Amino acid sequence: MNAAVEEHYTHRDLTKAIREALQRAGKDPAHLQPTDLAAVDEFHIRGRQATLELANWIKPTAADRVLDIGSGLGGASRTLAATYGCHVTGIDLTEAYCRTARDLAEWVGLGERVTYQQANALDLPFPDGSFDIAWTQHVAMNIPDKATLYREAYRVLKPGGVFALYDVLQGPSGEVIFPVPWAREPSISHLITPQDLRSLLEQAGFEVEHWQDTTAAGRDWFIGMDRCLQENGPPPVSFVLLMGSEFKEMAANQRRNLEENRIALIETVCRRR
């Protein structure tokens, strides 16, 4: 399963592809701000906006140590570090993403506040109570053993620590239409219902403090994105760099899955008891 997931996300020299796309967009990779990368490194529905909304519920401080589980290209971790001054450690199953995340962090001058390493979310390489905040966005869809995922997040948090999640869940109206950004076919897609998510979090020892269904906002985001594409054409810096030419079909299916309530989006903040 791990090999199949990593293969799904690994394609080419992402650092080179992103550098060339930025140059086509008139950006100098030697003089970038984190926002310049938001169109490619915040690989989840509603992108940077969703990251900032979730972060606003927890408001990290500069003293906080944050663990980003499934950090991808590091967009969310850099947004947190740049906005709040906290130190963020990102782990991801895909080594190519970790390498690219390190490069992008250096480009925007955040190399000392964010670190990335390849690791398995079900066996986190950190001692108990290492972090003040654990964070994950659009990651659990590829993980069948969610009970262990949430227990590991609980374990590495300090007592009273916060766990912030934003994930894609199973909707009430039928099976997912593939391909989608997290899976080309069903074998690596493992969605659960919102009710099951809440139950698993509570079983792991968390107390849910904030719970919000953001499915409608996700639908609106796709409508706006499609309108922008029709008016301006595809931008040089986009998620196509990550998923290739298939991304157009993946995005169309993602929008349809949202519109037909085949998937749901939940934002939640929990606290370790």
CA–CA distance, 54 with 212 (Å, rounded to integer): 10
CATH of the domain at 261: 3.40.50.150
Report how many domains make up the chain.
1
Residues 6+ positions from 87 with CB-CB distance below 8 Å: 64, 65, 66, 81, 113, 114
123: alpha, beta or left, given left = phi > 0 and alpha = psi -120 to 50? beta
Buried b (16+ CB within 10 A) or exposed e, 22-54: beeeebebeeeebebbbbbbbbbbbbbebbeeb
- pTM here? 0.93
Starting at the edge strand found earlier in the chain, the sheet holding 65-69 runs: 114-118, 87-92, 65-69, 131-137, 157-170, 263-272, 206-213
In the DSSP assignment, the letter for residue 183 is B
pLDDT at 1: 59
Tell me the pairing of strands 263-272 and 157-170: antiparallel
Paired tokens of 254? 């993602």
Is 90 within 8 Å of 4 (Cβ atoms)? no
In order of 31, 133, 234, 244, 273, the CA distances from 92 in angstroms are 26, 17, 28, 20, 26
Give dist(CA 264, CA 192) in Å, integer: 10
Domain with 37, as residue range(s), is 2-272
Give phi and psi for 213, each to the nearest 5: -85, 120
Cα separation of 104 and 101, whole Å?
5
Residues belonging to the chain: 273
Q: What does the pLDDT profile of the chain (273 residues) look like in tens digits?
A: 567 776 766 666 889 989 998 999 899 988 898 889 988 899 999 999 999 999 999 999 999 999 999 999 999 999 999 999 999 999 999 999 999 999 999 999 999 999 999 999 999 999 999 999 999 999 999 999 999 999 999 999 999 999 999 999 999 999 999 999 999 999 999 999 999 999 999 999 999 999 999 999 999 999 988 888 778 777 788 888 888 888 889 989 999 999 999 999 999 999 998
Q: Which of 46, 41, 39 is nearest to 220 (CA)?
A: 46
Angle at the Cα of 265 (from 216 to 88), degrees rounded to 5?
A: 125
